[in-house]
Amino acid sequence: MPRFYLGGFADENRIGTVRLPGTQRFTQNVRDATVAKDFYAVEGHGDGADAIERALSEFEGAAAEVFKIVESGTWPLDPDDRTTLGYFVALQAMRVPAQRRSMDYVAQQVARLQIGVGGRDAFKRQLQQILGSVTDEQVERMWDHAVRREGPPINLSNAVHIQHMLESSDKILRYVVGRPWILYKFDGRSLITSDAPVGLVRRQDAEPRDGIGFMTAWGITFPLTRKLGIVMGDPMIIADNVRADVVQVGQLDSVQAGTTQMEKFFNRMTVMNASEWLYHHPDDERFVPSDLPEPSPMTMETSAEQWEFDGEPVFRAAKG
């Protein structure tokens, strides 16, 4: 989490912290809440292992200036500042640890399916091509490890995760800036944030089984500070009547006073999207919803875990 961002929910450098499902609550230094050692380190990078970290730090500096502009009362933003803030939101959605765990999880499940569907004999042949001779005992041990429900222990490199983060942020930016933004200003009420602060609001007519993404969401919520929150609204309402470029430069953006209802809406969306941690100003613990969920370490699940493999190939070649 960017330190300047969490600073908007802190008292000096102190920030209230809640670990889902809420049994652990404490106050810590903002610096401690933002540390993830070597999270962006890329060994062998031509500009140094910390090249990505330095590039992100430079961008965060630009985003922090936009935050200050909003806090000073400027709204709507000029197009360049709006794009900077939009990219910050897109990047924040993609850079969180839950996204990394989800990528590793998908890779593990894909590998599990590939190995399990092929069967134990095909797996043995693959091992022989890679390792040379292998014993039946080794094959059995590695087979059991590969087809367990969690899949083989695959962890993608930082470089793969970072590439995905940057490419995905570029792709979803259009679905962030292409919406009318409403800035809500709160006085007596306060907002909280989390380790995954970008919320996607499901459409009322959506089926429960339908997925929700940046293109299909009714809206996107983002708590900017404890007193400012943005709802990026439904673009379909105006799609037939307003040109996309008019929306993208913020001509339809507006500002509204934050109500108790909107505070509860924002904070509920923040809780629903959180992975493991909630953050709040030390004076704002009363705004943390009382019914908190269990931690959600990943952003997705698959049905692949339900498959069982007995060592026989799932699909056999048809005889001629």
| pLDDT per residue as tens digits for the range 93-147 | 988 777 778 888 888 888 888 888 888 899 889 889 988 888 989 989 998 888 8
Q: How far apart are CA 253 and CA 251, in angstroms?
A: 6
Residue ranges of domains in the chain = 9-38+178-291
Phi-psi region of 167 (alpha: psi -120 to 50; beta: other; left: phi over 0): alpha
Task: Give the residue carrying structure tokens 């330095």.
Answer: 54
Q: Select from 308, 299, 310 the least CA-distant residue to 149.
A: 308
Q: Give alpha helix (H) positions in the chain.
A: 3-7, 30-34, 51-71, 79-94, 97-118, 120-131, 136-147, 158-177, 244-248, 260-273
Both tokens of residue 292? 């908190």
CA 20 vs CA 79, 147, 196, 271, 278: distances in Å: 38, 30, 13, 9, 8
Is there a contact between 162 and 103 (Cβ–Cβ < 8 Å)? no
Write down the pLDDT at residue 320: 43
Edge-to-edge strand ranges of the sheet holding 277-280? 24-29, 14-19, 277-280, 193-194
Q: What does pTM read for this prediction?
A: 0.84
Write down the pLDDT at residue 239: 61
Write down the pLDDT at residue 105: 83
Write down the pLDDT at residue 261: 97
Write down the pLDDT at residue 304: 63
Residue 75 phi/psi, 5-degree rounding, is -170, 130
Local mean pLDDT, 10-residue blocks, the chain (320 residues): 94 95 95 74 76 86 98 97 97 84 84 88 89 88 88 85 90 94 97 96 78 89 98 79 81 95 97 94 97 82 72 66
Q: Select from 289, 283, 290 the least CA-distant residue to 14.
A: 283
